[in-house]
Amino acid sequence: MRFKSLLAVSGLLAAVAAFIAGPVFGQAKMPVQTSVCANCHETQNATVALTQHGARNDASGSMCMACHGSADDHLKDPLKNKMASKFGKGVPAAQKDAVCMTCHAGNRHLGFWDSGKHAQNEVSCSNCHNIHGKPGAPVVAPFTTSFRPNEADMCGACHQQVRAATLKPSHHPIIENKIKCSDCHNPHGAITPVMLKAETVNQQCYSCHADKRGPYIFAHPAVEENCLSCHNPHGSVYSKLLNEKTPNLCQDCHDWSRHPGTVYGGAGAFTCQPGDTSAACAGKEGQPNASASTRLVARNCLNCHNAIHGSNAPGNRGKFFIR
């Protein structure tokens, strides 16, 4: 009886092993669709075969010819009848885009392509998209688990000033690939400033920072007007992506009313400035200033006015955004 049980268990294990070793789990490779173009252009066919374009190809190379044109004469005599280059360096951007638009014109993301900054500045689809890819084994990109490059690296190839800002200490997690450029911008065209997805800068910021949306009983006019009045969305050397360090940032607008009423200028610096004839600095240019102002030491407007984006508190607490 025990012998029969062992035989049954052995048979079951053999069946499971055969099932695992079968093509169900990918042991047998799926045949890659080849076309007549692959006879000569093997590398180009291999790099496009597993993409959406290559998956729709057939033996006659219909997808190849959809982009590169008819190859009937080329197949008869490849050396004599060479294919016309539709994506060469001298081809206008509009002509390159027309090839892609034969299939992708109905994509809703391309509705404003012609009015977008990229199309107006002769940037074509092939400047950002590589249909065939690069030959050889894929290289894992930094900060990601994909062989696709970070979107920020692609955009930063042209927008180098923005790329430099994203590398500053205070930045949105763009280089870490947690936020993409296309989360805020539509690279395929938009009628908004800088091709934003939302109608305004503030509405774009509110898509993530909903707690700053309000409405508030006491609103900060600078916040309502434009978030960029105080923040640089790509990156800054100051905390919280500020354009300047507080309290200097606040004094760009509040330079006359209430306290402190005077700008934090060089007269109150920690070292004696040129032309300072005060008793503490007479003849001591560049030396420590005995009467230096302490306004910049461990002081900040936000120490008291912490509800800087707006407040619903009653009375003066809300009116002046204080604690």
For the chain, what is the domain count? 1
Domain of 66, in residue numbers: 35-79
Tell me, yes or no, whether 118 lies in a domain: no
Q: Find the length of the chain.
A: 323
pLDDT digits (tens, 9 = 90+) for 192-239: 989 999 999 999 999 999 999 889 999 999 999 999 999 999 999 999
Instruction: Tell me if 105 is assigned to some domain.
Output: no
Confirm whether 71 is domain-assigned.
Answer: yes
Residue 145 covered by a domain: no
Give the global pTM.
Answer: 0.72
Tokens 């009653």, located at residue: 314
251: in domain: no
102 membership: H or E segment, kind and range: helix 93-104
Find tokens 């500045």 and name the residue: 121
3-state DSSP assignment of residue 185:
strand
- What local confidence, expressed as pLDDT, does residue 205 receive? 95
Burial 27-44 (b: 16+ CB within 10 A, else e): eeeeeebbbbbbeebeeb
Q: pLDDT tens digits, residue range 285-317?
A: 777 766 666 665 666 788 889 899 999 999 989
- The SS3 of residue 152 is helix
Buried b (16+ CB within 10 A) or exposed e, 284-311: eeeeebeebbeeeeeeebeeebebbbbb
Residue 40 belongs to a domain: yes
Task: Please provide the average confidence, as pLDDT, over all residues in the chain.
Answer: 80
Which tens digit of pLDDT belongs to each residue from 10-56? 555 555 455 555 444 444 444 445 678 888 888 888 888 878 888 88
CB contact at 8 A, 282 and 270:
no
In a domain, 75, yes or no: yes
